[in-house]
Chain A
Amino acid sequence: MKKTRRLLTTVCVLMAAFQVFATDYKYLTFQKKDGNESSLPLSGLKLSFNSGVLTTSQNGTKTTYEVIDLAKMYFSETATAIQSVQNSHTAVSLQGSSLNINAPAGTLSRVFDASGKLVMSTTISSDGTPTHVDLLLPGIYVVKTGKQTLKILVK
């Protein structure tokens, strides 16, 4: 009986440990031929194709991509480069090593490097006007804009 109890405890611990390694994909990431990437949450996501255009729809919001511009898509655990959250009117895109941030005026946007060091902080000055930030050094950055957090890779 004691042996069985010990074994069951071991099983539970092992299960908990292995669960950590189970991959939990929350995003579908699109990569364009120019290297730019954008991610969308999987929840409620639907794709359709028509006349060379990929339309993504999610919670009533639609986004389109020219298929001719797309290289691939893949599942990812975190969002990379862009996560479109239309309701908050916030969009972040990466072009080369430049970061474009489009968010409501007054939104605080901060960029951290892989070590967690704050490398940039800016407040969006006006609606509809993208704020450009040059990230000269290649590496992984975390962009926090309002309530939205994204991970980006500068090559």
Chain B
Amino acid sequence: MKKLFLLIAALIPAALVSAQSMYIYQGNVATMVNADLTGDMTYSNTALTVRGLQFPLSTIDSIAFSDNHVNIDSVVVKYVGTTAKVFVPIEILPYLTITANDAHVSIVSSQMDGNEIKYALTGTSTDGSFYEYSDYKSTLYLNNITLNNTKGGAIDIDDGKRVEIDVPDGTINSLTDCAAGTQKACFYIKGHAEFKGGGTINLVGKTSHAYKSNEYTEFKTSFGTMNITAAANDAMHISQYFKMNGGSINISGAIADGIQVDTTSNKTDEFNGQMFLNAGNVSISLNGDGAAGLKCDSLFTCTGGTYNITMNGKNSDGVTTNVANINDATSSPIFTIHQNGGYLVVDGDKKKSSCFKTDANMYFHAGTINAYPDANAKAKGIKVGGNYYYTSKAKTNIVPEVTGQMIAIAQ
């Protein structure tokens, strides 16, 4: 019943607005105006004034009309080849500084009232990028966008706040950055990122990480798929914490780690250095020496999901963390980890590999770990630096070579 009232509340305003809109084209920017909000548009000899904003006639390429209603909080960027067109509602135009050099689009927001601006990217560019800066939250829609940047990163969001990345169902989005650049990642978010929507994101990171956020990243239950097929560093490098509540991640071709979570400089940040894997599917195949499939500085918590990890590099671990807590709060998690790379000799010391490694305690309440260490290379199945606590619901296949003290937990 409550939902019905919400539906009514949503539909009635929608029925009242007109569908017509006007597009004022000036170079790479098109200003969008809803007809019902326009009123009189006045002429001087040199300018057209619409809703209090002056448009010099000499800068107007054309004005066109459409039978659609414009969302007054949404900017749309359409990429075609080496060009991009930015569509901006007139309501937020005064707050935005838009620079579009060919298909390299930069939008700096000075909006002061805290209203969230939404950005939708669509189209294909063979040499394009998107940069956005704001002091407030924002939403980024990836709506079948393909960006290949030959000069830097593909997407750089510089908000320092919550950035929601909505990947609509059925969309396929592909981002590729340049090699030997200065960017931190192909897809970089300065802020905390929340991914949702059932579409797909394909990433290739040629300079460093494929994906990086300097604060937490969360995959919502609705999230679709992230495929990373190459990274010159980590496939995903996340600061503060990573929480996965759904979706799929497929990683291959990364030189360093699959998913790494490190601590932020502010040690009081919530869940600093932690990884929460609650649901979804993760598949990682790496060849780099010294790499880790899943790595976090602090607590590794897994309450469900499926994890298939193959490590072919020397001195590489499938999972490495300080403390691990594996339980079935969401569903019974299943890890299948192959370690094929063996050890690395450094200064005469053998640096060995493990399928699952903790520096301190491991609490294995429920789930399954299938570990396939390369026994000939003295790799270990499960290596625990502290105590190993387990219950009868904790299943391991292949004899886990557990160092540390094994302590059963009473059910």
The 0/1 profile, CB within 8 Å of B marked 1, for residues 17-31 of chain A is 011011111101000
Whether the pair B18, A15 counts as a contact (CB closer than 8 A) is: no
Q: A45 near B12 (CB under 8 angstroms)?
A: no
Please judge, given known A-B contacts A25-B36, A72-B40, whether A48 and B18 are in contact too, CB under 8 Å. no
Whether A4 sits at the interface, judged by CB under 8 Å, is: yes
Among B58-66, B72-80, B352-360, B371-379, the stretch in contact with A:
B58-66
A112 on the B face (CB < 8 A): no
Would A48 and B43 count as touching, CB distance under 8 A?
Answer: no
A76 to chain B, nearest CB (A): 10
Q: Please indicate which of the listed interface residues A15, A18, A48, A75 has the most CB atoms of chain B within 10 Å of its own CB.
A: A75
Min Cβ gap A99→B in Å is: 25
Q: Are B7 and A67 in contact (CB under 8 A)?
A: no
How many A residues touch B, CB cutoff 8 Å?
A: 31
- Flag whether A7 is at the interface (Cβ < 8 A): yes
Main secondary structure of the interface of A (DSSP, over half): mixed
Chain A residues lying within 8 Å of B410, measured Cβ to Cβ, are: none
Known: A4-B1, A25-B35, A42-B65. A73 touches B41 (CB 8 A): yes
B63 close to A15 (CB less than 8 A) = no
- What 1/0 flags go to B51-90 for Cβ under 8 Å of A? 0000001101111110100000000000000000000000
- When the two chains form their complex, are residues A75 and B38 in contact, meaning their CB atoms are under 8 A apart? yes
With A46-B64, A47-B62, A75-B38 as given contacts, are A4 and B4 in contact (CB-CB < 8 Å)? yes
9 pairs, A vs B, C-beta closer than 8 Å = A4-B1, A18-B15, A19-B15, A21-B15, A23-B18, A43-B65, A67-B57, A72-B42, A75-B20
Q: Point out residues on B near A: beta carbons under 8 Å.
A: 1, 4, 7-8, 11-12, 15-20, 22, 35-36, 38-43, 45, 57-58, 60-65, 67
Question: Given A48-B63, A75-B20, 12 more contacts at CB 8 Å?
Answer: A11-B4, A11-B7, A11-B8, A18-B15, A18-B16, A23-B18, A24-B18, A28-B65, A42-B20, A70-B43, A72-B43, A75-B35
- Closest 6 CB pairs between A and B? A47-B63, A18-B15, A70-B43, A49-B57, A75-B35, A23-B18
